[in-house]
Amino acid sequence: MEHTTVIHAEGLTRHFGDTIAVDRISFDVQAGEVFGFLGHNGAGKTTTIRVLNGVLDATAGKVEVLGLSPNAQGPALRRRTGVLTETPSLDDRLTARDNLRIYANLYDVPQDQVQSRVDEMLALFELSERADDKVGEFSKGMRQRLALARALIHQPELLFLDEPTSGLDPVASKQVRDLIDRLSEEGRTIFLCTHNLTEAQRLCDRVAVLEEGQIIALGNPRELGDQMGISLPLEIEVAADQINAACELLSSIEHATDVRARGSVINVSGLHRTDIPLAIERLVSTNIAIFQVTPGEASLESVYLALHRDEEAA
Ligand SMILES: Nc1ncnc2c1ncn2[C@@H]1O[C@H](COP(=O)(O)OP(=O)(O)O)[C@@H](O)[C@H]1O
Ligand SMILES: [Mg+2]
């Protein structure tokens, strides 16, 4: 597969007086990827988004987005990117439709396409029925959907989402996550800042973990889990009449913490990916018939917690 680099950051740094908000970070984002940017509050996520969009200048380092320099070619860049800021400002006195229309004009959507584009966005974000109501009356979830619709009105190829589900209830969060999934399936590149690890695990192809302005880990959740020796759940299906023998063998493997059987399926916790061949070998050498082995994914949460344990120990 051919890779096109959409974002290239090299030694990107941003200071605010004595505060080093972003400290020499380097990463690339490829076309079509959902790239997660994770970190506690104050880690430097929002500052990075603002530099990548040319809203703030970098103090040092090199940045290229869609082949453009955000600092020198900001307006040209922003015509091709959509941004959902942390606290999007909508005009409460205007209707949902007018909020979108104004943005469409601002972003040079051709006049003869504005109406259809606005209608399409309202439908996609399930706001058609409330299109002509003032936004001041909208719930938080509806406002967030409208803000996302607005960020997409000019069909940007690259989308920056800064904590898109923070402050939303579980139902609204899920709606927003499903929309992000759908946008990603359409081939859009998404740069997603979040401190929600479950969300990142579900949505992201790769993540960068940011701490005090520095990237302390970068990769897909599985790679990170492997590198750090994080355990993953393992499901093994064996012949039903051999289940007890199989459980006993699996319990004797060094890292296994919990072994549970249900019917002919065994769930093992605590094993590392590198333990899987050993587990299979033990079962096979005892003539246990294996029908299926399904490793789960190391949870991003365990990766994240392990990273922070290492940091504290250092
Ligand atoms: N405009 C600003 N002026 C001064 N300090 C700022 C400004 N914006 C961000 N910071 C500081 O930079 C650091 C990173 O902030 P931010 O990028 O907002 O982090 P995050 O989005 O990960 O929560 C914080 O210490 C914050 O206080
Ligand atoms: Mg932020």
**Which of 14, 15, 16 is the best mutation target for the ligand 1 pocket, counting ligand atoms within 8 Å of the beta carbon and taking the most?**
16
Residues of the chain with CATH 3.40.50.300: 5-220
CA atoms of 219 and 295, how far apart (whole Å) = 19
Q: Ligand 1 atom closest to Cα of 43?
A: 22
Give residue 314's pLDDT. 67
Look-up: residue for tokens 């409460």? 92
CA atoms of 181 and 60, how far apart (whole Å) = 34
Identify the nearest ligand to the CA of 48 by its number.
Answer: 1
Give residue 203's pLDDT. 93
What's the gap in Å between 89 CA and the centre of ligand 1?
19
What's the gap in Å between 39 CA and the centre of ligand 1?
12
Give residue 22's pLDDT. 98
Which of 180, 182, 145 has its CA nearest to residue 160? 180
Atom 10 of ligand 1, residue of closest alpha carbon: 21
Identify the nearest ligand to the CA of 45 by its number.
Answer: 1
H or E segment at 174? helix 170-185
CA distances from 71 to 62, 156, 268, 276 (A): 10, 19, 51, 49
Give residue 299's pLDDT. 84
CA atoms of 257 and 249, how far apart (whole Å) = 13
What's the gap in Å between 163 CA and the centre of ligand 1?
14
Does domain 5-220 fall under CATH 3.40.50.300? My reply is yes
pTM score, whole prediction: 0.86
Which stretches in the chain have pLDDT values below 70? 1-3, 314
pLDDT digits (tens, 9 = 90+) for 266-280: 999 999 888 999 999
Identify the nearest ligand to the CA of 162 by its number.
Answer: 2
Residues of the chain with CATH 3.30.70.920: 231-297
Q: Ligand 1 atom closest to Cα of 44?
A: 17
Q: If you ran DSSP here, which 8-state letter would residue 73 be given?
A: S
- Ligand 1 surroundings by CB, under 6 angstroms: 16, 19, 21, 39, 41-47
Q: Ligand 1 atom closest to Cα of 47?
A: 17
First vs last C-alpha separation in the chain: 39
Atom 18 of ligand 1, residue of closest alpha carbon: 46
pLDDT digits (tens, 9 = 90+) for 9-38: 999 999 999 999 999 999 999 999 999 999
What's the gap in Å between 38 CA and the centre of ligand 1?
15
| DSSP characters over 138-172 | --HHHHHHHHHHHHHTT--SEEEEESTTTT--HHH
Q: Ligand 1 atom closest to Cα of 17?
A: 4
Q: Which CATH architecture has domain 231-297?
A: 2-Layer Sandwich (3.30)
Chain-centroid distance of CA 246 in Å reads 38
CA atoms of 267 and 263, how far apart (whole Å) = 11
CA atoms of 299 and 91, how far apart (whole Å) = 40
